[in-house]
Structure 1
């Protein structure tokens, strides 16, 4: 990540912020954060600035194309060339498969699918301005989930959106190959965020994992950094499952 600029969507907290900090430790010098929570954005920005990097933030509703593009362009205007995009924004409600409403579906689709799509398009339009084959022009990493590959009756709408993001990743990878933009996804199993602890499913996950424990956020962030960094020169259209032996795909 040495001397690179990265935009992280959903970067004001959770896995997104953990990834941002890890990228800084690997040499990233410019971090753009896009999130809907302005207060968390400012707190996260100060945390990163204390680490000695340049930070730009933009609040956005990424489910709306105009808002998503405006936020990416605003961050890019401040930071210059963006080398990588990480799509970490998602909502994770839990509801029985027989209780999901139209409103539930609309919200999941709006953030997890449409939001990811809009941010990818914004990044591609920016990155295409820097095409210089055979060098890699840019890298996009989408955060999917192991739920995309297994039955999930307690969260079927979330799982369906993550399966859609896997599909989007492959389509974008093929479309963007000519411009040397690498597009991949990382699919974590559950890991020890505050939200996961609150929902209480980590002990069950730990028992089902071959390693007998849930991951820490930084263990997932390591893989995101790898796929977003200059060390990735060939992988595109791939989905990397990181589950500690919880699922084999």
Structure 2
């Protein structure tokens, strides 16, 4: 990540923030954070600046194309060329399958699918300006989930959106190859965020995992950083499952 600039959507907390911190530790000079929580953005940006990074922030409603593009363009205006995008923003509701409403579907699709799509389009429009074969002009990493491959109770609509993101990743990888933009996804099992601890499923996950424990956010972030870094020069259209032996795909 040395001297690279990365934009992280959903970067004010959780896996997004863990990824940002790890990028800085690996030499990233500039970090752009996009989130809807302005107060949390300010706090997280300050923490990254304390680590030595130049940080820009933008608030955006990524479910709306115009807002998503404006947020990305704001980061570019502040930091210049963006080398990588990480899509980490998502909502994770839980509801029995027979109780999921149209409103539930609309919100889940808006953030997890449309939001990811809008941010990818914004990044591609920017990155393709820097195509210089045979060099990579940009990298995009989407955070999916093992839920795209393994059913869990009260989780159908979330799982469906994550399966859609796996598909989007492959479609973008194919169409953007001519611009030397590498597009991949990382599918974690549950890991120890505050939200996961609150929901209480980590002990059950630990028992079902071959390693006998849930992961820490940094352990998932390592794979995201690798895919977003200059070490990745050939992988595109791939989905990497990181589950500690919870699922084999």
TM range (shorter): over 0.9
Unaligned runs of 5+ in 2: none
Q: Which position in structure 1 is the counterpart of 2:27?
A: 27
Distance in 2, matches of 1:78 and 1:151, equals 42
Q: How does 1:25-174 map to 2 (within 5 A)?
A: 25-174=25-174
Q: Quote how far apart the aligned CAs of 1:153 are.
A: 3.1
Q: Quote how far apart the aligned CAs of 1:66 are.
A: 0.0
Q: TM-score, normalised by structure 2?
A: 0.99
Q: TM-score, normalised by structure 1?
A: 0.99
Q: Which position in structure 1 is the counterpart of 2:187?
A: 187
Q: Quote how far apart the aligned CAs of 1:152 are.
A: 2.4
Q: Which position in structure 1 is the counterpart of 2:214?
A: 214
Secondary structure class of the residue paired with 1:61: coil
Q: Tell me the C-alpha RMSD between the 2 structures.
A: 0.4
Number of residue equivalences: 249
Distance in 1, matches of 2:245 and 2:41, equals 34
Distance in 1, matches of 2:151 and 2:20, equals 31
Q: Quote how far apart the aligned CAs of 1:151 are.
A: 1.5
Distance in 1, matches of 2:241 and 2:213, equals 16
Q: Quote how far apart the aligned CAs of 1:52 are.
A: 1.2
Q: Which position in structure 1 is the counterpart of 2:203?
A: 203
Q: Which position in structure 1 is the counterpart of 2:248?
A: 248
Secondary structure class of the residue paired with 2:97: coil
Distance in 2, matches of 1:195 and 1:114, equals 23
Distance in 1, matches of 2:51 and 2:220, equals 21
Distance in 2, matches of 1:81 and 1:241, equals 30
Distance in 1, matches of 2:181 and 2:152, equals 33
